[in-house]
Amino acid sequence: MTQTPCLAAVATGLHADYTTVLLFLLFGIFFGNLALGIARLVRPRKPGGEKEVTYECGELPSGSSWVRFNIRFYLVALFFIVFDVEVIFLYPWAVVFRPLSEAAGSLVFVEMAMFLGILALGLAYVWIKGDLDWVKSLARRNGPEVGGE
């Protein structure tokens, strides 16, 4: 055995599976480059001309497309962050749910129910405020009875 015992221990012990993940990453980079390399040998290469112009229905593009985003996508991203963090908290709880509630009873469940309840309250708040509607101002103008759709 030529490797140092330390490296061998790392590779075959606890981290063996995560080493595989790293190998997958490296192989992905290699495989992608291989496929592109093969294509490079086969394909024609005549750059220049109109084919390098950005496609915009066959017309010359009017201005850059690096413009500001629609605010709605931004709001969606905000909601997403809040709920994603919530999901991250839920996962460790779900793993220990059964053994822990055998030890501590239904308190384990009640605690998570309270946490989810607070979040559900937040969701209800943005719902009533109309932030979940695609066109918020339209929902307000049409009144609450049409606002949901």
Partner 1 sequence: MQVMTDLFARIFGDGLSPVGLLVAGGLTMALIMALVMASCAIVFTWAERKVAGFIQSRYGPMRVGRWHGVLQPVADMVKILGKEDIVPRDADKPLFLLAPFVIFIGSLMAWAAIPFAPGFIAADLDLGLFYIFAVSSAATIGILMAGWASNNKWSLYGAARGAAQAVSYEIPLALACIPVVMITGSLNMNDIVVAQQGGIWRWHFLHDPFLFVAFLLYFVASIAEVNRGPFDLPETESELVAGYHTEYTGMRFAFFFLAEYANLFLVSCVATAVFLGGWQPLFGPVFLPGLVFVIKAVLLVLLQMWLRWTLPRLRVDQLMHVCWKVMVPLALVCVLGAGIWMLATGQAG
Q: Does 83 bind partner 1 (CB under 8 A)?
A: yes
| Distance of alpha carbon 62 from alpha carbon 56, whole angstroms | 9
Q: Does 132 bind partner 1 (CB under 8 A)?
A: yes
Cα torsion 134, 136, 141, 146 to 10°: value is: 40
Q: Are 102 and 109 in contact (CB under 8 A)?
A: no
Question: Dihedrals φ, ψ of 90, to 5°?
Answer: -70, -35
Restricted to residues 87-116, the positions that interact with partner 1 (CB under 8 A) are 87, 90-91, 94-99, 101-102, 105-106, 108-109, 112-113, 116
Restricted to residues 48-77, the positions that interact with partner 1 (CB under 8 A) are 51-56, 61, 64-67, 69-70, 72-73, 76-77
Per-residue binder mask for partner 1 (CB under 8 A), 8-47, x = binder: x--xx---xxxxxx-xxx-xxx-xx--xx-xxx-xxxxxx
